[in-house]
Structure 1
Amino acid sequence: MSVLADRLVHAEVEVPSGARGGVTALRLDTKIVSGAEWDRVIADFDEVCQEQLHVFASTRWPGVTQEPMLFLLNGEVVGGSLMMVQPLPLRLGNIAVAKWGPMLKDSRRPDAASIHAGMIEALVADYADARGQMLSVLPAASIDPENHDYQRLIARGFKRGSELGFPNRYIVNLRLDDAAQRRSFDQKWRYHLTKSEKAGLTFEHAGPERFGEFEELYTAMTDRKQFVDHSAYDTVSSLMALDDPLQPELFFVRHEGVVVGGGLIFKAGDRAVYLYGATNDQALPLRAGYFLHWNIIRWLRDNTSATWYDLGGTDGFQGLHQFKKGMVGNAGVIRPVPPVANYASHRRAYLVGTAAFAARDAGYKIKRVIDGWRNPKTKSNQTPTKDRAGQ
């Protein structure tokens, strides 16, 4: 993509009172940069995630224009949002989408809420006011009981939009010692973990050169379970080519010298994310999943600065819900991804954009029904491996 000229946006607006009171949006400058520079700059953001990486988004959504926008306060980069400009059919306009954005570089700074509000004001001024597009923002699931980013959007005049079918995200607290972490697990989860530790399993942290082993395991698993994979797995090769800290980490579990399971983890930022897992037929009776995640939790605690480990969702699979809920235990949190928040300065842009989202959502529902017809056993046999990247 071409690098657009830097643009200065002055937006100091008193946001209407929400659950936590009014927040003053700071004046921020904006700058659109190249994809390569974007991925380099956001690597140390607290709120960085794989969906906001240019290398991920350009592979996952090739038909949209990627505009990596940085936000600066007095010349310092304080946040960013990878904006995806989606053209609508019949040249009816465009929708500007921020998925899991905008992101804060430092989520702990005292003025973080004002910076977030300032980023939203800058996006409104550019995409909604100046370009006449509908602006669609999907915040990430919050660690707090209330999603303040979403509340600020609604208070600002954004309208509730599409919702995920199964919005809950299961998030483990990484900042516990071994004894406290084990106590935090549900009793049944601890029981299965103890059984797995007596099964003769070994845990390995592997380098990217062994990604081929994971691919073989993953392909064999999807073929065996015969489920339709709508996830973003085709982006993994590009992610594995990145430098640290953005390159995902690879882990394996062995039994009697044979790899029986593996996992890919995005570990940059304050929230590590479970991307994909794969197992063979031996893994279930050995309880290899419990052993794998227990050791991943310990590795992330000892080798990263992440505070949380996001296990993703469940797609409605009750067994997966029980497994993740037990691992979250009493020290982690289960929080929903909020609905999409939509804003338009012009009525036509809002109506056209809303209609486009409704058509897309209907298409997703039809696709799920067709998948169910093709494989009626999927609901009971499938082991979903995608996290939020697959939504």
Structure 2
Amino acid sequence: MSLAALSLSPVAQFAVPSHPIATGFAMRLVEPVAWDDAIADFEGVCQEQLATFARARWPGVELEPQLFTLAGEVVGGCLIMVQPLPLGLGAIAVAKWAPMLRCTETADANAIYARMVEALSAEYAVRRRMMLSVLPRAALGTTNAEYEHLLRAGFRQGAKLLFPDRYIVNLKLSDAEQRSSFHQKWRYHLNKADKAGLRFEHARPDQRPEFDALYEQMVDRKKFPDHSAYGTVPALLAMENPTLRPELFFVRRASGDIVAGAVIFKAGDRAVYLYGATSAAALELRAGYFLHWHIIRWLRDNTAARWYDLGGTDGFQGLHQFKKGMVGERGVIVPVPPVANYAAHWWPRLLGEGAFAGRELAHSLGRYVDRLRPDRAKPNQLRNAE
């Protein structure tokens, strides 16, 4: 089916519950090649919602970017990934960390989010008879309003992340306030790093081969299975849009050798730590503490981000202690909610839930095999596993 055939006129045509913002609200499909630039200024933008990322990470899915407007003004968007099921039995529509809001803190943000969910449900679950699977991002408060709305709208709880907590640093603090927020032991290690003669460097995208070499050395040294989306890094760092292109940072010691590095997604209101790597010398030098301290300061001074998402821990206690200490007293540790699934018909629900159950079984078997590996080691404290 062509993009033109899938394009929608105003959402009001669907028999969905009315909201105060229903008048003048519309959803339209845009070409994937134009999608990333269209969402570059969204406060809710994230790496997983970029077409550049999705094409590299999930080459077998069809991308359908949906843009939402209210009275002609763009207010939100959602990159839907349509995943075909085996034997041509159907497809699942997947939205990860979406729908996104262009402005996350306006008075009508919740109403806009609700209207976007209604429009997506009407298109994918009702008209096209798919199961719609939505994973909202972690909320910063004690409740997740987006996830609660999905449940009220008829979505069912799906799979949960094995280790759902996200560790999020507050970027709205001065240097003195931030250091005071760090836990005492974290501050101690940072003070040691400050005296180790290290140098922080904001690197250019064309210095990626240096990071690749460091990352490959770390993987080889630690001997852990790498199931991450690291293969998307070349495409991300080659993006022409400077707002969306991740930043590359290094820590060098006095000799000039790189001992630590990180790739950071900086767009939107929540910067995200994507990948990190260290040399064998990094632990003794406390290079990880030095690296993150300066990344926090750079993000605060050079971006509109209000928060710095360090990701999860994969269940490793050492990583929990490191990130918890950095989040400190002024940041938050909050869970990613479970996936929420909606199907308007029994057949797509049966197929969709069966497909997800099969995927979870495969992931569980993969984790079990990884644990049996005699050379398996814990991940480095700077690395996030997806």
TM-score when normalising by structure 2 = 0.95
Q: Deviations over 1:193-248 (max 9, x none)?
A: 10110111111111112111111101111111111111000000000011211111
Task: Give the equivalent residue in structure 2 for 1:156.
Answer: 153
The Cα shift of 1:25 comes to 6.2
| Amino acid across the alignment from 2:4 | L
C-alpha distance after superposition, 1:20-75 (max 9, x if no partner): xxx75635211111112100110110010010000100110111111011011111
Q: Specify the code of the residue in structure 1 equivalent to 2:247.
A: E
Which residue matches 1:180?
177
- Contact 1:12-1:24 within 8 A present in 2 as well: no
- Alpha-carbon distance between aligned partners in 1 of 2:33 and 2:303, rounded to the nearest angstrom: 24
Provide the C-alpha distance between the structure 2 equivalents of 1:33 and 1:223, rounded to a whole number of angstroms. 42
Q: Deviations over 1:139-163 (max 9, x none)?
A: 0001111000000000111000001
SS of residue paired to 1:44: coil
What is the number of residues matched between the two proteins? Answer: 380
Structure 2: segments with no counterpart, 5+ residues: none
In the alignment, residue 238 of structure 1 is paired with which amino acid? A
Deviations 1:324-382 (A, max 9, x none): 0000011000010000000000011111111110110010000111112224532xx32
The answer to whether 1:279 aligns with 2:278 is yes
Correspondence for 1:19? none
**3-state SS of paired residue (2:245):** coil
Partner of 1:234: 231
In the other structure, the counterpart of 1:260 is 259
Superposition deviation, residue 185 in structure 1: 0.6
| Alpha-carbon distance in 1 for matches of 2:244, 2:218 | 26
- The answer on whether the counterparts of 2:82 and 2:93 sit within 8 Å (CA) in structure 1 is yes
Show CA shifts across 1:62-94 (max 9, x none). 111110110111111110000011111122211
Asked if 1 retains the 8 angstrom alpha-carbon contact of 2:277 and 2:383, the reply is: no
Alpha-carbon distance between aligned partners in 1 of 2:75 and 2:381, rounded to the nearest angstrom = 36
Q: Structure 1, unaligned stretches of length 5 or more? A: 16-22
Q: Deviations over 1:274-297 (max 9, x none)?
A: 010000011000100000000000
Q: State whether structure 2 residue 71 is matched by structure 1 residue 70.
A: no
What is the RMSD of the two structures over their aligned residues, measured on CA atoms? Answer: 1.6
- Provide, for residues 233-267 of structure 1, a one-character-per-residue CA deviation record: whole Å limited to 9, x for no partner: 00000000112111111111111221111111000
TM-score, L = length of structure 1: 0.94
Aligned partner letter, 1:244: P
Structure 2 distance, partners of 1:375, 1:106, is 49
Q: 1:44 to 1:149 in 2, by over 3 A?
A: same
Matched with 1:3 is 3
Are the structure 2 counterparts of residues 375 and 238 from structure 1 closer, same or farther at C-alpha, using a change threshold of 3 Å? farther
CA distance in 2, matches of 1:375, 1:62: 32
Letter matched to residue 251 of structure 1: F
Structural mapping, 1:186-335, within 5 Å = 186-242=183-239, 243-256=241-254, 257-335=256-334
Identity rate, percent: 58
The 1:25/1:162 distance shift into structure 2, 3 A limit, reads farther
How far apart are the structure 2 equivalents of 1:52 and 1:2?
22
Q: For residue 3 of structure 1, report the CA deviation from its aligned partner.
A: 3.2
